[in-house]
Chains A and B, each alone.
Chain A
Amino acid sequence: MKYLMLIYGNQEKWNAIPAEEWPAAIAKQEAFNRKYQQTGELIGAYGLADQVNARLVRRQDGAPAVTDGPYLETKEYIASFYLLDCENAERAEQIAADMPWADQDPVEVWPVLHESPTNP
């Protein structure tokens, strides 16, 4: 069963972290990623840009019409996402709780309902 894990945050919160703490924080996250890539349970981990870089795209008269995003105005937005393939929901919850900052901020876990058979 596949699961999507989402981390939320905002720039204000990240700005509050001193610059010298970032390398250690990133190393922790990479250690987590490596650990679950090696068990064959983490398919991919992806970090997103700041929300000022998010765009909303519609099609008008066959051409893209682009406005600033994101779609939902929220205080916090998606910072990164992780795609897991693991035994069951309990295992996904176990992995989510192992995320380096799960003791401070919750990790959102969504079962993946459907995927295209053409996925690589």
Chain B
Amino acid sequence: MTADQDPGDLLRELAPQVLEALLRRFGHFDLCEDATQEALLAAALQWPRDGTPDNPRGWLITVAARRLMDAARSEQSRRRREDQVAVATPQSELLSPPADADPGQDRDDSLALLFGCCHPALSAPSQIALTLRAVGGLTTAQIAAAFLVPEATMAQRISRAKQAIKASGVPLAVPAGETERGDRLRAVLHVLYLIFNEGYTATHSDQLTRPDLSAEAIRLARWLHRLLPGDGEVAGLLALMLLTEARRPARTTPDGELVPLAEQQRSRWDRALIAEGVALITAALASSGQSSSGQSSSGQSAAGEAAWGHAVGPYQLQAAIAAVHDEAQDVDATDWPQILALYDLLDRVAPNPLSSLSRVVAVARVHGPAAGLDALGALESDRRMAGYHRLLATRAHLLGLAGQHGPAALAYREAARRATSRPERRYLSRMAAAQQAQQAG
């Protein structure tokens, strides 16, 4: 452990390891999770004062185990049996996995923990809160600040989530069946994706009080990618996050106004993140191609769907789309036919109204605004999309491209009324005014 590492970073990196060590010995996710948090808090207070111990992980596990035993003792009448097990366990056994543990055990413990936090019995907000606390090592106060809710509300949410896991009787383990394992992993990826989006769309970056959720999501996705380096969707999600995060410096003005992709100053995009994201998604797509067709797809364009169309999941496709955008010099130099082909694939692999809407924009770029409006017409019959502000904004955009500035202004105004975030509403109102000015001029 290096001396110059931020103690907060170190603690959060160790958090899931400590919790896993406790869970291995004692089970009882709710109690182990509380004890781990207490140990982290104790370290946050003591290490800056007394110095970081030589074995920080061992220190945390010892303290957490002590807290767990204290908690077990205080509930003695209800938990006599667990108490005896806890007290009888030698400290040395806690500090290292049992000698007979197989090498994949640590990885499975980490996955089991993550799967547990994204338990199907929990609502998405509860999965997010629990993942940030148990795996991310954030305190309840930090999570509450990130979501702008009182700490007491977040504490209730976390404690209810732990109760629900306990009540479900589903053990904290990696399911043996491949289908169930795939389902649970998808839930995990969705939670990480939601955490990333929460951070990416947050308009206030008051770093002092609100943790950066995008950075946290990327950190967790990196960790998951290290656990499952061969999983294409995990790599795809990490790549998607990096390729999206790369645009952050250009996506808002200093006043917090949204800047659409087409108008962003691309020189402000983070080239290092783009390079990393492109390398990740390229490797993931190449190995998906090999696994589905048995032939190398290197050198093929990302839209060479014949090679890997069936093995590639939605995060890889979205990352591939983001990569095509990020590698273009400007909006007109963008390879729109390639983007359209990728959206066609995405529509087939994982149909979802939001990506269908993005596909419409690509249709308009490739085949003209009239074709885009036709494609949009098909989407408007989807009940989930009725009155959705992004659908109206897309219609407005296409009408503007088609030179129908009056109807475009009306559609932008209606979209602005229906927007559910202030930056979006302001952007759409600005666009309405611009279309109106074009019509008048």
Chain A residues within 8 Å of B, Cβ to Cβ: 1-2, 37-43, 85-87, 91, 111, 113-115, 117, 119-120
Query: How far is A45 from B256 in the complex, measured between Cα atoms in Å?
Result: 32
CB distance from A43 to the nearest CB of B (A): 5
CB distance from B49 to the nearest CB of A (A): 28
Contact B421 A85 (CB under 8 A): no
Query: How far is A113 from B149 in the complex, measured between Cα atoms in Å?
Result: 15
Contact B153 A87 (CB under 8 A): no
Q: What chain B residues lie within 8 Å of A37 (beta carbons)? A: 153, 156
Contact B125 A120 (CB under 8 A): no
Q: Report if B420 contacts A (CB, 8 A).
A: yes
Residues in B94-128 with C-beta less than 8 Å from chain A: 123-126
Known: A40-B154, A43-B150, A85-B149. A117 touches B204 (CB 8 A): yes
Chain B residues within 8 Å of A, Cβ to Cβ: 123-126, 129, 147-150, 153-158, 160, 204, 206, 209-210, 419-422, 425
New A-B pairs, 9, CB < 8 Å, besides A40-B154, A43-B150 = A40-B156, A43-B149, A43-B153, A85-B153, A113-B425, A114-B422, A115-B148, A117-B206, A119-B148
Q: What chain B residues lie within 8 Å of A41 (beta carbons)? A: 125, 153, 157
Chain A's closest residue to B157 (CB) is A40
Contact A86 B125 (CB under 8 A): yes
CB distance from A48 to the nearest CB of B (A): 21
Q: What chain A residues lie within 8 Å of B425 (beta carbons)? A: 113
Main secondary structure of the interface of A (DSSP, over half): loop
27 contacts between A and B (CB under 8 A): A37-B153, A37-B156, A39-B160, A40-B125, A40-B129, A40-B153, A40-B156, A41-B153, A43-B153, A85-B125, A85-B153, A86-B123, A87-B124, A87-B125, A91-B123, A111-B420, A113-B419, A113-B420, A113-B421, A113-B422, A113-B425, A114-B422, A115-B148, A117-B204, A117-B206, A117-B209, A117-B210
Chain A's closest residue to B129 (CB) is A40
Q: What chain B residues lie within 8 Å of A2 (beta carbons)? A: 148
Q: What chain A residues lie within 8 Å of B158 (beta carbons)? A: 40
CB distance from B168 to the nearest CB of A (A): 16
Chain B's closest residue to A42 (CB) is B153
- Which of A85, A111, A120 is close to B147, meaning CB atoms less than 8 Å apart? A85
Query: How far is A111 from B209 in the complex, measured between Cα atoms in Å?
Result: 24
Query: How far is A41 from B155 in the complex, measured between Cα atoms in Å?
Result: 11
Q: What chain B residues lie within 8 Å of A39 (beta carbons)? A: 156-157, 160
Query: How far is A56 from B160 in the complex, measured between Cα atoms in Å?
Result: 42
CB distance from A44 to the nearest CB of B (A): 8
CB distance from B164 to the nearest CB of A (A): 10
Q: What chain B residues lie within 8 Å of A113 (beta carbons)? A: 419-422, 425
Query: How far is A85 from B128 in the complex, measured between Cα atoms in Å?
Result: 14
Q: What chain B residues lie within 8 Å of A42 (beta carbons)? A: 153
Query: How far is A115 from B206 in the complex, measured between Cα atoms in Å?
Result: 14
Query: How far is A111 from B421 in the complex, measured between Cα atoms in Å?
Result: 9
Query: How far is A85 from B156 in the complex, measured between Cα atoms in Å?
Result: 12
Q: What chain A residues lie within 8 Å of B154 (beta carbons)? A: 40
Known: A1-B420, A113-B425, A117-B210. A38 touches B160 (CB 8 A): yes
Chain A's closest residue to B421 (CB) is A113
Query: How far is A107 from B409 in the complex, measured between Cα atoms in Å?
Result: 33
Q: What chain B residues lie within 8 Å of A87 (beta carbons)? A: 123-125
Chain B's closest residue to A113 (CB) is B422
Query: How far is A39 from B125 in the complex, measured between Cα atoms in Å?
Result: 11
CB distance from B36 to the nearest CB of A (A): 20
Q: What chain B residues lie within 8 Å of A120 (beta carbons)? A: 150
Q: 9 closest pairs, A vs B, by CB?
A: A40-B157, A117-B204, A114-B422, A40-B156, A85-B149, A111-B420, A117-B206, A87-B123, A43-B153
Query: How far is A85 from B124 in the complex, measured between Cα atoms in Å?
Result: 12
Chain A's closest residue to B206 (CB) is A117
Contact A40 B124 (CB under 8 A): no
Q: What chain A residues lie within 8 Å of B210 (beta carbons)? A: 117
Known: A115-B148, A117-B204. A40 touches B126 (CB 8 A): yes
Q: What chain A residues lie within 8 Å of B209 (beta carbons)? A: 117
CB distance from B418 to the nearest CB of A (A): 10
Which of B125, B147, B210: most chain A CB closer than 10 A?
B125
